Structures are given as C-alpha cells and as structure tokens.
Chains A and B, each alone.
Chain A
C-alpha cells in the first residue's frame, strides 16, 4: 500500500534502515490491521470533534466585509468602489473598443481585419514573418469561424487584468527586494496563493467585487500576481554590482537608481514575468466561465455541457491559437534587443514597423466601413464547421472498433483499478493514512516536511471533509502514476536522439501554454462523462511536465560522466540505469512535483464532469455565498498540495547538493 501512496522514484538507493520511518509505517499498518477493534476516533474524526471552522470563517469575513445596505464599515465599501468605479470603467473601455459594448467612448467595435493587421504588425516587429503569420492568422481564424465576439470578450478582460497584475506584481516585487522582512513574509503567502484552487478565488471575488466581469478580472489578476513578484525580485537581485556602483558613482538619487539603473537592467526577468502573467491570466480568464463570465471559456463550457463536440473543438482551437500567439510574442519580446541605427537615419526608417502597422490599421479601419465582410463576419457567413466536425467525431467514436477500445479501457480502468483503489484509500483509517503520509514525507523530504505533513493532514482531517479530500487525493495519485507510466518512458526514449528530444521539448513547451481547461476536451471526446474522464484529463495534463523534465534531466547529465561510463564499457542499459537516471533524478523530481501540482489544479476544474471530491463541493459553493465553506475546501486542497511540494522539493534540493550538480 505504501508503495502506491508513495510513488517510487523518490526512493533513495542509499537509504537502508530508518527507525523513524519503520516505526511510523509499522504503526500505520498496525492501525489498518486492527481496524475492527480500533476506537472510532482513530478511524474517522467524529462529527462532534470537527470545529465549526466554516462558520467561524464566515463570521470573520462578515466582520471585515462590512455591509453595504446598513452602511457598516468594512472592506466591501472599498472593493465595491473600486469595482464599480475604476475597474468597471477600464473594463468598459476595452470592451467598447474590442467588442463594441455600449460604454464610453461609445465607438463602433474595431473591424476584425484591423485588429488582425495590428497583431500581424506586432508579430512582424517581434519575430519576423512567422510571428506575423501567427498573429494575423489567429485573428483571421477567430473571425472566420464566427467566434469574434466571444474572443473579444475574453481579450477585453485580459487587456485589463494583465496590466493590473503586472503593476501589482512589480510593486510587490520591488518591495520584497528592498526589504528583507517583507520578502520573508510574502514568500510563503505566494506559495499558498499558488496552491489554492482557482475556484477559491472566485467566490470572494464575486462577493467583494460584484458578479460579472469585475469579479472575473479581479480573480484572474490576483491569481497571476505571484510569478511577477518572484521574477521582479529575482531580476533586481541579479543586477551586477558594478552596474549598481557605476550608477552610484554617476550620482544617481535613489529614484534614479531604481528607474534608470535597476529596472532597465532587470529587463529580461521582468519580461519573463510578463510572459507568465499573460499566460496565467489567459488560463484563468477562461475558467471564470464557472461564475458565468461570457467569452471563450463560457462558450466552451456551455458547448461541452451540451456535448457539442464540433463547436467545442473549434473554440478549443481558438483558445490554443490565442495562447500560442500570446506566448510566442511575449517570449520574442524577452529576447528582442534594441538595434542601433546609423546616425542620420531618417525618422520614418527608425520607426518603420510602427508606421507600417499604423497604416495597415488605418487602411482596414477605413475599408471596414465599406466592405462589410472586413468589418464583421456574420453568423451565416462564418465558415464554422461545428456541425460537420461534430458528426465526424461522433461518427468516429461510434465505430465499433474505437468504441470497443474506449469501452474496454474505461471498464478495465474503472472496475479493476480506479474504483478498488479509491475504495481501498477510503477504507484506510484516518490516523493510519496520516501516519503513512508523514512516513513518506520523512523518508523522502526529511524532518521539516514530515512535521508540516503531520500538521497539514491533521488540519484536513479535522476540517470535516476527510472523505472528499481522500477522493481528491485518489484522483491525483492515480492520474500521476498513470502519467508517469507514459511520460517517463517517453522522455527516456526521446532523449536518445537529439532531434526527437528537441521536437518533443518544443511540443511540451507549446502544450504547457494551453489553458488547463483545454485538456478536458480530448478526455471528454473519448470517454464521455465519467470518473475515467476526470483521471484521464489529469493524465494528459500531467504527462507534459513529466516528459519534459525527464528529457531535460537526461540531457543535462554532464557529458564527461556519460563519456566516463562509455569508456568503462557500460552498455546502453547500464549507462542509463547507473549513470544517467541517478543524475537526472533531481530534475525529474521537479517535473514530478509540477505534475502533482498540476493534478491538484486539474482535479478541481474537472469536477464539473461529476466527481464526489472537494472540487464538486467547491463548484457548488460558487452558486451561493458560503465564503467560509469555500475557504475550508480550498485550504484542504492547498494543504495537501503543499505537503507534496515541500517534501519533493526538499528531496530534490538535497539530492542536487549531494551530487554536486547545479540546475
């Protein structure tokens, strides 16, 4: 059993006998065996012992929230003012420009051809013809399949959330760099923020910032802030001390130092942060569909719910295209270095990209007034093949052979693997379960992670949601084990050939930019709506980082070590098993950790397919005002995820140090 709960690649070959580990595991097994005679409280925490955490939290939130109607002071006055004032104004502004919403400045929506021209122009400036094609092509596709309006709804929220998250992130990042104590405070907060499920952001956003785009924009913004903070701090810390001294010797004041020396010198890291902000915002803004936000995500959710696979597929393609476009462009911006012009270059040559883009924009703006099809693609005119694709997919799925395969797979997985495993996990007494997790953290991560594991899982046990937490954990563990069985062999195979490795890495990098929501699509298409679908969508999602880090780990084994193995007469297999894999393990562990984090993220989203885990409860809270419950559920997910994170990362760090490798 311990083998299932503690996936094996973490086992250290050097560990022989550890009395603490043996004692913990022995006690856990004893509790299992003695279950029939075990006192009740060791099997499950009795209802009566569960503190009413949710209602305490409710009361706490009630106090800080304040009340709009009675005028009782509280946070909500500030947040609602912000939501209804500046935020609503900004959202209205972008929504007017992009989709023509009836808000200030009351323009007609921009013609799609003009937007596509600007995207192509920016793409050309950043990365030549290929990016121009990607930028322009994405918008041409979006318009032609008739998704212009929903895509613009999504982008107009993005256009507000990204700058907000950037600003907040860079300010917090500067503060963390400037004051050590602030960094020490904010680091764990950011770690927790990144493991709390997105749904836990949504409900407070709705309550504090009003239902609708404002709540969606705020939840998205807050979720995207942490990487910006981290990258800003990292970049500022990396500025060479000679550059800093040169600034001081030039007589910079503190402000001049910050804005003319530090921030420009940290450009690369800050722009990497911007890339991450953009990608996270896109992934999250799609998910705001769950609080009823219109846009690409909302449409996709509706289509998936009514099992319209063709239209879902088309929207999926749009989302992927937008994601890839935003990612490639922002990454091209990171590496784009200023180029000098010879002295005396006329201004129209210096700014040729800007001029070309502007004139293309103007041209299509004018053309759009006369040629309707360049302005709007109507419902009838669109080239959407939703119905046809739907028929093809459903036809394909109805082929006997395909059906036989999917059915068998579903049956075997469900009846022989997943359900027995789930029931087994649920059968284990709570006390025994916690002991096993602590034993795992102890042997893998060491003392500190073990202590955290004990605290975190005890909190989960006392939260009153134990069974649902175990079911969540069950989905995560089974999915990660399955994806390890796919991802690790795939990675090992790919790393044998340099070309193949590069292609698969490129594929993985691209796939990692897709919003997580997209990963549900293929699983639903193949397996309909069932437990297997949830696990399989997580598998697809988590195989990507596992494969990626396996390849990276193997590729980064120092060449002199593999050469030494070759010269010692090792066979390929011997080289792999005794040189490459052991040295790649710390990196692979990072991938494994990422896979688990992704799984925790996905399992909550996938809940709308129908599960009985924390995710389902969380989604139910979105309809109400149960802030306390919403938080307790989210906290449970975060605590379980953090336990794994702390344990595995501590192992990876220790191991890297021990092997004398640097990452």
Chain B
C-alpha cells in the first residue's frame, strides 16, 4: 500500500432501511429514484455513493438533515452495515472484517466525535478520555499519562476530575475531541461536532479545530449542515441530498461551477470572492506576456480586492507557494467574481 492509496475508498455504496433491504436491492431496477424506493417501503439512507478520501485530506460532507450524511459516515466505520457496494479502509474491505478485527481497527485507527458529545455521564473527564485506552487494555499509568496529554492539547487542564454535567457545551465537546484523539487515530470522523454549540463558541471551536489539524494532519471526514462551516474547513466538499452525492469538489469549484440546481441554491447566498483563490482562477501562462509583481495564489479574491480594483493591468501574474509563476489572472474575470458577474 503506497502513499497514494486512498485511506477510505467506497464504491457504489448503498444503505437501505426497511424490511428486507438486501433482497430488495438485488431485485431493484437500476436508476430507481429516492421517491420510488420510498414508495416501495424502503428508505435510501445512502444511495449509490462512490467517493475516496485521500491521506491527510479533510473531506466535508454537507447536507441538510435526513440527507444521509451521518449514515454514510457510520458506514465507513461499520457502525451501520451497508446493503450493497464496497468500502475499503486502508485497503481492507471493512465489511469482510470479523468482529474481532473490526474492534481492533476501531481501537487502533479510528476516532469519532459526536454532535451531542456522547460522553459517559458516570465518568470524569479523565476517565472519559481514557476510555478507549482502557478498552484496549492499556495499563492504568500509561492511559492516565496519555489522557492528561490530550486533555492539555484541547485546553481542558485543571478540569480532569470534573464530570461531564459540570462542563459547558463547548467544554464537553473538547472532552469528546480529546477522547477521539486519545488513541492517536489515523482517521478522524466528526459528526456535526459544533452544531449543538452557540454561534460564538462554534467559531472559536472551528479555529481550535483548524489549529489541531495543522498540528496533527489527520485524514478527516467532517459532517456539517452548515455550508459556511464546510467552506471554511474543507479541502473537498461532498454535498449530499436524498442519500446521494450531488457534487464532490473543492470549495472553489463548487462555488464557481455548481453542477446541479440544488448545489447552486447553496452557493447563491455565498460571497464567492471569500472562497475562490487566485490560483484557481488563474489560467496557464501559455506564453502570455505578464509584467509587474505577482499576486499570491493562496490568497482569496476578496483578499486581493483592493489591488484588483486599483491595478491597471489586464492580466496579473500569479505565484505559487514557492514564488514560481503558476499562471495568469484575468483582472476582469477576478472582478466578476468579486462584484458578481451581472
């Protein structure tokens, strides 16, 4: 297994809820719609989904409630058994694992954070965080050391002996995050981790989360119903509706080229210039003569707004991280993004 193999790879995954889903799926004509399946007495939680998650990538799954995003993530870790298709985690077919191996996989590779925290009410912060370590039989001293380390990491020092009910929502979620990190997982699932928090705390926790991710560089599957949150955090966004993925792409591309009317509805309200980066808008040089100082490709159009308005050049050179030119930015096109193209 090399570095480029996707960490999670799923092909044509189906999850149907109903009386006899396996049999139904086998006899179902291809291309049956969500509504038709529903009329037959089944709910398509996940409908023919194929998606890969690359190493170190943060994939955000975005959708409204009931769109199947939580179901899909629970299929990755086999909290749900899928009805059809295959899911491979680090090259292993998850559905083929014996119970023992599945438990081993979760104990060593996976961490998960839940919307309403899922903390054990009878355990202190320390014991909650140490819980996964305890499950895999680590000795008392080691797990205590490790738990204290992650508690410090999420900024809850001094609260080790508190019980969950004595903490605020934000603090409880920090415990949830610490618990999911205790085993040093490779894959990190976060199921709407900040949805239950009020907006100010949510923002703070997002920053905190980005800080952690900067440090740890995990492979992440993050669920949210909040499009802004998705744009803010994601490397790639998968937008789900009725169990199926409508579009899976980078935030820039989703905002610039929404594939379906449903996705377009989300993007309409968004200020595109805050999402789209210069590097994405840049066209290849192809011998175009450019002059003057380049703009930085990692900046959003919004960050470049002042310069775009005052600059007189038609085409601006764009530089990559290393300072080399990567393309040319048409000022008019950039201004269209900034001001809206109509």
Contact = CB atoms under 8 A, between A and B. Distances in A.
A269 to B, nearest CB: 13
A248 B79 contact: yes
Given A338-B163, A340-B166, A343-B161, A245 B120 contact: no
Contact of A250 (B116, B122, B163, B179): B179
B122 A265 contact: yes
Interface in A229-247: 240, 242-243, 245-247
Interface of A: 240, 242-243, 245-253, 256, 260-261, 264-265, 267, 337-338, 340-343
Interface in B39-93: 74, 77, 79
B31 interface: no
Given A249-B112, A343-B161, A265 B79 contact: no
B194 interface: no
A242 B120 contact: no
Given A256-B135, A340-B166, A343-B160, A249 B119 contact: no
Contacts of A260: 120, 131, 134-135
B117 interface: yes
A249 B161 contact: no
A243 B164 CA distance: 13
B79 A250 contact: no
23 contacts: A240-B116, A240-B118, A243-B118, A246-B119, A249-B77, A249-B180, A250-B131, A250-B132, A250-B135, A250-B179, A252-B103, A253-B135, A256-B135, A260-B134, A260-B135, A264-B120, A264-B121, A264-B123, A267-B121, A267-B122, A338-B163, A340-B163, A341-B161
A248 B106 CA distance: 8
Interface string B98-132: 00000110111011101111111111100000011
Contacts of A256: 135
A250 B161 CA distance: 21
A256 B103 CA distance: 12
A246 B124 contact: no
Contacts of B121: 264-265, 267
Contacts of B131: 250, 260
A256 B135 CA distance: 7
Nearest to A245: B79
A347 to B, nearest CB: 14
Given A248-B79, A250-B106, A250-B135, A265 B120 contact: yes
A340 B106 contact: no
B114 A251 contact: no
Given A245-B118, A338-B122, 14 more contacts: A240-B116, A240-B118, A242-B115, A242-B117, A243-B120, A245-B74, A249-B112, A250-B106, A250-B132, A251-B106, A251-B107, A251-B132, A337-B165, A340-B162
A344 B165 CA distance: 22
A343 B160 CA distance: 8
A252 B106 CA distance: 9
A406 B67 CA distance: 73
Nearest to B132: A250
A267 B163 CA distance: 15
The 8 closest A-B pairs by CB, nearest first: A251-B107, A242-B118, A246-B118, A250-B132, A340-B161, A249-B112, A251-B106, A242-B114
A324 B33 CA distance: 63
A251 B103 contact: yes
Contacts of B108: 251
Nearest to B136: A251
Nearest to B160: A343
A249 B110 contact: yes
B44 to A, nearest CB: 20
Residue among A246, A264, A265, A337 having the largest count of chain B Cβ atoms under 10 Å: A246
Contacts of B136: 251
Contacts of A340: 124, 161-163, 166
Contacts of B103: 251-253
Contacts of B118: 240, 242-243, 245-246
Contacts of B163: 337-338, 340
A130 B114 CA distance: 41
A341 B160 CA distance: 10
A246 B111 CA distance: 9
A111 to B, nearest CB: 36
